[in-house]
Amino acid sequence: MKCPFCADPNTQVTDTRENEDGDVVRRRRRCVKCDKRFTTYERIDLKMPHIVKRNGNRTEFDHAKLAGSMKLALRKRPVTIEAIDAAVDRIEARLLAMGEQEVPSEKIGELVMKELKKLDKVAYIRFASVYRNFADVDEFAEVIREVQTRPRRGKADKGGADPGHDLFGG
């Protein structure tokens, strides 16, 4: 801790005490160089990590957006909105607990699939094969729409594209 008076990096802690809730630590310090006294308050700082997309861009974790994507994935499935919100809460808690400043978007994908597996096996199976191909929540929503609008009929155009072709990037 740098002294605020002379900027010397060497300060001594002369007293340490927590507040009643134990979430703020108050420290009395003395500068070794100029002998001035000052107090610092240290607080636990829990922040959501930034999500790093595959292209290297960083984005904020968006609870509402992820919940919206999961709702799309679970459309017409017997899963309540409350259960989906609780799943997104768990994903958020896991990300916080990692204590990292940045988390790759693939990690979110894994957590989403884990929750989807618990919520609804049918939806899980539907998305398990494609989840590795989405790089962020926006792409997840796109994948969901594509999977849900993909025609079931097996009409094979000669030399035509496989409807899943774009999803698998091949």
Chain positions contacting Zn ion, by CB under 5 A: 3, 5-6, 8, 31, 33-34
Q: Are 27 and 15 in contact (CB under 8 A)?
A: yes
- One-letter amino acid at 11 equals T
Q: Nearest approach, Cβ of 5 to Zn ion (angstroms)? A: 5
Quick one: 1 or 167, whose CB is closer to Zn ion? 1
Residue 166 Cα distances to 37, 108, 131, 169, angstroms: 65, 22, 13, 5
Number of residues that this document lists for the chain? 170
Q: What DSSP character marks residue 133?
A: G
Quick one: 10 or 19, whose CB is closer to Zn ion? 10
* Helix H or strand E segment including 37: strand 37-43
Q: Nearest approach, Cβ of 16 to Zn ion (angstroms)? A: 19
Quick one: 33 or 132, whose CB is closer to Zn ion? 33
- One-letter amino acid at 156 equals A
Q: Nearest approach, Cβ of 15 to Zn ion (angstroms)? A: 17
Q: Nearest approach, Cβ of 137 to Zn ion (angstroms)? A: 48
Q: Nearest approach, Cβ of 12 to Zn ion (angstroms)? A: 11
Q: How far apart are CA 30 and CA 81, in angstroms?
A: 54
Q: How far apart are CA 146 and CA 25, in angstroms?
A: 52
Quick one: 5 or 168, whose CB is closer to Zn ion? 5
Quick one: 6 or 98, whose CB is closer to Zn ion? 6
